[in-house]
Structure 1
Amino acid sequence: MMRWLSFLQLCLSLLLILPLPLEAFEPLTMGAIGLGAVGFGTYFKEYTYCKFTECCDDRSIPANIEALRSSLNRYLFGQHIVAQHIIPALSAHFQSRSTSRKPLVISFHGQPGTGKNFVADQIAKALYLKGSESSFVSKYLGQADFPQAGMVDAYKARISREVRNKLHECPRSLFIFDEVDKMPSGVFDTLTSLVDYNAFADGTDNTKAVFIFLSNTAGTHIADHLGNLMKGGKLREDTRLSDYESLLKRAAYNLDGGMKKTTMIESHVIDHYIPFLPLEKSHVLSCLQEEFWRWDRNPDSQKNKKLIDDIIDTSISYDRTHGLFAISGCKTLEKKVAVAVNYS
């Protein structure tokens, strides 16, 4: 209430002085009026315009890391390494926003259905009031946005232009590049300078942004490595990021895709390589139970238990090498549960 009274008083003051001719004011007075106008504009935007539309401010970008933590704990299955590293990485980045010297750059790797897109969406949901629908969230799809290897130069120019424009609009932007393994090699070369330690001549601030790359690259390598570790007696939950990080860097750099031989890896601008482990039967079961809850169906009822068992027995295939990991993870379960619930 006090803020609105102050706002009304300011408006009345302006109405009283504006009818006077400008020549009536001394230069010092005119300067004070100019500063007052700037303050008035900031005040007006913060307490009126930005109350009803999205702005690059704390209201529209709350960066609710605790909400993200709760969501991952509740809905992400079989990915202890992800939860251990994503939360601290984002927390540190946003806490040091005023002193950060580069954007946060994260690369997700793993087989389909292991949760990469889910986590990226949950990050957007936690950081922005409008989640993935925020105008400050940009998402690119490999096959859809960069389909032709012969157009790499055009794609590089597009990425550079669009990222700079978005950063100029809001330094606290999020960029998600999905299907990196399906992008032509070299497409990210001009992006390296935009995610490195930089002070741009045009005033563009990149230090508050977040870049996330999603790729199936190294998914089979992660599965084979985990399978061998488990056969050697190591528990899945005891594996750490250090067990996979060098493997991910080598695979991303050497295998076909947008990261192949890229200067982004050579320049060490990627802060975190995050492995998404292949899912086992118990994790798929948890995904199925969650899908039933999403349909307001109790997965523990006798009827639904049978439906879940049928889906697992008839629709889930496991890797040939170890016989432990569901090939498609939880990727196809949503549609299978929809059929089971509506036509059983």
Structure 2
Amino acid sequence: MELKQVTVLLLVTLILPGCQGSVSLGATIFGITGAALYASFDKLRCTFYECCSPKSDWIKPNITALNNALDTHLHGQHLVRDVVSRALLGHLSNNDPAKALVMSFHGWTGGGKNYVAKFIAESIYKLGMRSQYVHIFVSTVHFPHEQQADIYKLHLQDWIRGNVSKCERSLFIFDEIDKMPLGMINGIKPFIDYHESIDKVDFRKSIFVFLSNTGGPDITREMLQLWRSGRKREEVSLKDLEHLVERGAFNEKGGLHKSELIQFSLVDHYVPFLPLERRHVELCAHDEIRRRGFTSSKELIKKVADELMYFPPENQLFSTTGCKKVAQKVSYIIANVQYDELFD
């Protein structure tokens, strides 16, 4: 209803003397038109500013885009693609999920855990990691003091409750959860359990992602043993490693140690990130060189890969830092090439 029509109706209602029920009629009209105006304003606001409305374009899950990103940029992690894509599809396509989705990423540093968390955000929210509905907690930054675990727990509960009340489709990413104060993560248990609502807030459409190095040594030992037995990397299944990851998360010192989340089976998916081989490091180097706008040659890729450390000593199979240092090495080597061209 246009503003002119609203004004006319209100005037007619309020100035007609002697009309029984004019006040109640005016209130009714005002209620109807006020709601219409609010809806119109809300729709207009969502055109220009990020909002949580399902009718807007700000939150539009796209699993195809996620798969394309993982296929293009994530190397050596076939298990991750299969588990993450299916888990998200199942959760996001369900308008009445039983609980919040909880995924726990485990593995050696540089395997791509943060990368995948970023791709998840970009596949759900138009603004990706910049979305106001994506919340990132880094344990060493946000929860640095072990003795303040109880205070952190209360603040974290308030933060989650407040943000999910604004948007049910909220994403919470906990980085370095293995460095979180012991027992603190138990504070989120009510929000990921099988409750329809808590204090009239429904948490079941939200997503929680944990990033941890726990389980990494067990995964690496198992992968080395499988490699020595002649098993191809791509033949390794989730069944081969999931129990190692869950056991490592529960027993190793860190944020999930003896956690109620594990005891009560509230973590839906334990996702193992395999240690990266030299061939995967070379693929990462190729991507970074191209991203920087340079031509990717075999010689340049080899120089980058040679800068990294590998283990075990007898066969130099796995990168000690995965692809984590590739960007820095590419910058250094390209700078050396440019320096030589300028000053030689």
Q: Which residue identity lines up with residue 46 of structure 2 in the other structure?
A: C
Structure 1 equivalent of residue 212 of structure 2:
215
1:108-123 equivalence runs, <5 A: 108-123=105-120
1:244 is aligned to 2:241:
yes
**Aligned alpha-carbon RMSD (Å):** 1.7
Q: How far 1:28 sits from its partner (Å)?
A: 5.7
Of 256, 276, 288, the match for 1:291: 288
Of 88, 91, 100, the match for 1:90: 88
- TM-score, normalisation: structure 2: 0.91
Unpaired segments of 5 or more residues in structure 2?
Answer: 17-21, 338-344
- TM-score, normalisation: structure 1: 0.91
Structure 1 equivalent of residue 342 of structure 2:
none
CA deviation vs aligned residue, 1:250-274 (integer Å, no higher than 9, x gap): 1101111100011000111110000
Instruction: Give the whole-Å Cα distance in 1 for the aligned partners of 2:319 and 2:72.
Output: 21
Which deviates further from its counterpart, 237-246 or 305-314?
Answer: 305-314
Of 327, 330, 336, the match for 1:334: 327
Structure 1 equivalent of residue 152 of structure 2:
155
Of 73, 96, 99, the match for 2:71: 73
1:35-50 equivalence runs, <5 A: 35-46=32-43, 48-50=44-46
Structure 2 equivalent of residue 343 of structure 1:
336
Q: Is the 8 A contact 2:308 2:319 kept in 1?
A: no
Structure 1 equivalent of residue 6 of structure 2:
14
Instruction: Give the whole-Å Cα distance in 2 for the aligned partners of 1:148 and 1:322.
Output: 41
Which deviates further from its counterpart, 221-230 or 74-83?
Answer: 221-230
Q: Is the 8 A contact 2:13 2:25 kept in 1?
A: no
Q: Is the 8 A contact 2:307 2:329 kept in 1?
A: no
Of 242, 254, 259, the match for 2:256: 259
CA deviation vs aligned residue, 1:20-60 (integer Å, no higher than 9, x gap): 454853636643541342233123211x1110001012411
Instruction: Give the whole-Å Cα distance in 1 for the aligned partners of 2:76 and 2:99.
Output: 31
Q: Which residue identity lines up with residue 211 of structure 2 in the other structure?
A: L
Instruction: Give the whole-Å Cα distance in 2 for the aligned partners of 1:296 and 1:239.
Output: 35
Q: Is the 8 A contact 1:103 1:211 kept in 2?
A: yes
Instruction: Give the whole-Å Cα distance in 2 for the aligned partners of 1:29 and 1:235.
Output: 76
1:128 is aligned to 2:125:
yes
Instruction: Give the whole-Å Cα distance in 1 for the aligned partners of 2:51 and 2:156.
Output: 23
Q: Which residue identity lines up with residue 54 of structure 1 in the other structure?
A: E
Task: Count the aligned residue pairs.
Answer: 330
Of 181, 185, 191, the match for 1:184: 181
3-state SS of the aligned residue for 1:222?
Answer: helix
Q: Is the 8 A contact 1:227 1:322 kept in 2?
A: no
CA deviation vs aligned residue, 1:72-116 (integer Å, no higher than 9, x gap): 1111000000011111111111110x2212111000001110000
Instruction: Give the whole-Å Cα distance in 2 for the aligned partners of 1:186 and 1:222.
Output: 24
Instruction: Give the whole-Å Cα distance in 2 for the aligned partners of 1:194 and 1:291.
Output: 39
Structure 2 equivalent of residue 231 of structure 1:
228
Which deviates further from its counterpart, 98-107 or 35-44?
Answer: 35-44
Q: Which residue identity lines up with residue 76 of structure 2 in the other structure?
A: G
1:311 is aligned to 2:307:
no
Instruction: Give the whole-Å Cα distance in 2 for the aligned partners of 1:23 and 1:232.
Output: 91
Q: Is the 8 A contact 2:310 2:317 kept in 1?
A: no
Q: Which residue identity lines up with residue 313 of structure 1 in the other structure?
A: D
Q: How far 1:310 sits from its partner (Å)?
A: 2.1
Q: Is the 8 A contact 1:319 1:327 kept in 2?
A: no
Instruction: Give the whole-Å Cα distance in 2 for the aligned partners of 1:321 and 1:340.
Output: 27
Instruction: Give the whole-Å Cα distance in 1 for the aligned partners of 2:314 and 2:268.
Output: 32
